[in-house]
């Protein structure tokens, strides 16, 4: 049970300074559990990380920072989180910090936007564990499409300021611990919101492509996924996306069409000599993907 790994990692943290525990919960992933936590733990404090200036309706479907009890293995709250996290990993992560609620909230709230190369600002969805892990370059997470790190050492130290440990569950339900900032002084010249380069923006965009593909196929062509266990769908789509990249496909329409074709034809895209030859022609720019698909047997 994941409580064992969680317990080992929590108990390995330094006892000084004393730590507080918090959850970041995303109501967009599960609108029920922030309220459920508050009802189960009287005195729980919760605050939306996004400002009302970003839309008054966001609070009902937005990330919240919430207080959480001190660790006790047999406590209902910790038993619950150890069971809930692996099942819905995109919805929750745990933070240990010496900071009280208000300063930690202020820091995380200041991190919810980044500045793009053109000076525009955009929401920075670090509460999504897949984005979080890509930002810091979580080496022990094989589920990441873009391993990262996206952030520079200085940006990472700034982002993790005041955080002693940050736990999340990957897509396969495995627990990971993000290490704390090791050299806070390295972030002394970095200001919030973080300013990203074009390369960093491109990495973050690419990191989300498998999710967008999976969401599109699940909405428009769900029959293509019907025979694939839900826990395997992301990995399958990511695999076919990488194949599309190897075919030098760039446009999203071509990428979607290839992924759909690969889901339909299965192993034939690797074993059928006619299909293999046609895809070789696409890779060598001898024909378009659309032309190749018309000739598929």
231 and 239 Cβ atoms separated by less than 8 Å:
no
Lookup: tokens for 239: 């695999």
Spatial strand order in the sheet of 121-123? 121-123, 113-115, 194-195
Instruction: Indicate the domain borders of the chain.
Output: 2-196, 209-294
pTM above 0.85, yes or no: yes
pLDDT confidence of residue 281: 97
- Give the pLDDT band (50/70/90) at residue 185: low
Using alpha carbons, select from 273, 207, 203 the residue that is nearest to residue 241.
207
β-strand partners of 220: none
Query: pLDDT of 245-274, one tens digit each?
Result: 999 999 999 999 999 999 999 999 999 999
- Give the pLDDT band (50/70/90) at residue 43: confident
pLDDT confidence of residue 59: 62
Q: What is the sign, positive or negative, of the torsion defined by CA atoms of 267, 273, 279, 283?
A: positive
Sequential DSSP letters for the chain = -HHHHHHHHHHTS-SSS--EEEEEEETTT-SSHHHHHHHHSTT--EEESS-GGG-TTGGGGSEEEEEEPPP-TT-HHHHHHHHHHHHSGGGEEEEEESS-HHHHHHHHHHTSEEE-TTS-EEE--TTSHHHHHHHHT-TT-TT-SS----S-HHHHHHHTTT-SEEEEE-TTS-EEEEPPPS-GGGGTT--SSEE--HHHHHHHHHHTHHHHHHHHHHHH-GGGTTTS-HHHHHHHHHHHHHHHHHTT--SHHHHHHHHHHHHHHTTHHHH-HHHHHHHHHHHTTSS-HHHHHHT--
Cα 203 to Cα 138, 145, 170, distances in angstroms: 15, 10, 19
66 and 23 Cβ atoms separated by less than 8 Å:
yes
Lookup: tokens for 147: 């391993």
Check pLDDT > 70 for residue 184: no
Check pLDDT > 90 for residue 57: no
Query: pLDDT of 270-291, one tens digit each?
Result: 999 999 999 999 999 999 999 9
146 and 138 Cβ atoms separated by less than 8 Å:
no
How much is the average pLDDT of 178-200?
A: 84
Rounded CA gap, 287 and 233, in Å? Answer: 29
Using alpha carbons, select from 10, 5, 7, 2 the residue that is nearest to residue 166.
10
The full length of the chain comes to: 297
pLDDT confidence of residue 53: 47
What is the rounded average pLDDT for all residues in the chain? 91
Note if the bond before 236 is cis, omega within 30 degrees.
no
How much is the average pLDDT of 87-113?
A: 95
Check pLDDT > 90 for residue 228: yes
- Give the pLDDT band (50/70/90) at residue 29: confident
How much is the average pLDDT of 102-124?
A: 96
Q: What is the sign, positive or negative, of the torsion defined by CA atoms of 279, 281, 284, 285?
A: negative
What percentage of the chain reaches a pLDDT higher than 70?
A: 91
Query: pLDDT of 117-168, one tens digit each?
Result: 999 999 999 999 999 999 999 999 999 999 999 999 999 999 999 999 999 9
Lookup: tokens for 178: 């993000």
Rounded CA gap, 38 and 258, in Å? Answer: 46
């Amino acid at each position: 049970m994941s409580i064992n790994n969680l317990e080992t990692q929590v108990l390995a943290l330094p006892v000084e300074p004393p730590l507080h525990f918090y959850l970041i919960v995303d109501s967009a992933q599960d609108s029920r559990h922030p309220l459920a936590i508050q009802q189960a733990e009287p005195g729980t404090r919760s605050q939306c990380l996004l400002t009302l200036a970003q839309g008054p309706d966001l609070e009902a479907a937005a990330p919240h920072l919430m207080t959480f009890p001190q660790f006790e293995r047999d406590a209902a709250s910790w038993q619950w989180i150890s069971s809930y996290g692996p099942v819905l990993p995109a919805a929750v992560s745990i933070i240990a910090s010496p900071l009280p609620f208000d300063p930690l909230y202020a820091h995380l709230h200041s991190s919810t936007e980044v500045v793009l190369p053109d000076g525009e600002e955009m929401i920075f969805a670090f509460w999504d564990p897949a984005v979080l892990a890509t930002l810091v370059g979580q080496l022990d997470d094989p589920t990441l499409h873009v391993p990262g790190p996206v952030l520079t050492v200085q940006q990472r130290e700034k982002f993790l300021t005041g955080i002693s440990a940050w736990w999340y569950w990957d897509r396969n339900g495995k627990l990971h611990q993000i290490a704390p900032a090791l050299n806070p002084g390295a972030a002394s010249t970095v200001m919030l919101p973080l300013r990203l380069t074009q390369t960093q923006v491109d990495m973050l965009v690419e990191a989300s492509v498998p999710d967008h593909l999976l969401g599109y196929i699940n909405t428009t062509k769900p029959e293509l996924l019907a025979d694939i266990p839900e826990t395997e769908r992301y990995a399958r789509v990511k695999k076919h996306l990488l194949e599309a990249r190897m075919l030098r496909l760039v446009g999203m329409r071509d990428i979607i069409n290839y992924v759909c074709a690969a889901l339909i034809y299965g192993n034939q895209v690797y074993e059928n000599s006619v299909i293999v030859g046609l895809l070789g022609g696409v890779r060598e720019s001898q024909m378009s993907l659309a032309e190749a698909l018309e000739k598929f047997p």
